[in-house]
């Protein structure tokens, strides 16, 4: 299958690598091969958020920009510019040393959810 990225702004369709419909939506992902994304490992830089996965687990839609609410583990982030990396559960974690900067606009410390601007 051939996938074209021409004219894409905030979402793109990718071949799914080891993703599961009904389980992996809302998790952070990274590009793992040409036109392919998979789940991040702990400490990876994430490239987007999986929005939908086809029932056959073959393709998925990834959000690359805009606002997204994600699960987080570890240290509670605060509003403003915060550095994040992927965690072990498909969410993100604060990493002030090695992380990449994102604008945080909302934090729910009870539910461990953070809303940030992907770019």
Report the mean per-residue pLDDT for the chain.
93
Reported pTM: 0.91
pLDDT in tens, 55-102: 999 999 999 998 999 999 999 999 999 999 999 999 999 999 999 999
**pLDDT higher than 70, residue 105:** yes
**What is the per-residue pLDDT for 10?**
85
Please tell me the predicted confidence (pLDDT) of residue 6.
56
List the structure tokens of 111. Answer: 């539910």
| 106 Cβ neighbours under 8 A, 6+ residues apart | 69, 79, 114, 115
- Number of Cβ within 10 Å of residue 47's Cβ equals 17
**CB burial string 7-23: b at 16+ within 10 A, e below:** eeeeebbbbbbebeeee
């Amino acid at each position: 299958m051939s996938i074209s990225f021409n004219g894409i702004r905030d979402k793109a369709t990718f071949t799914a690598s080891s993703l599961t419909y009904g389980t992996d939506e809302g998790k952070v992902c990274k590009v793992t091969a040409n036109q392919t994304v998979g789940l991040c490992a702990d400490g990876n830089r994430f490239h987007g958020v999986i929005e939908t996965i086809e029932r056959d687990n073959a393709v998925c839609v990834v959000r690359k920009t805009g606002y997204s609410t994600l699960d987080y583990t570890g240290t509670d982030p605060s509003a403003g510019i915060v550095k994040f990396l992927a965690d072990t559960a498909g969410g993100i974690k604060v990493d002030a040393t090695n992380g990449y900067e994102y604008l945080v606009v909302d934090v729910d410390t009870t539910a461990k959810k953070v809303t940030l601007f992907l770019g």
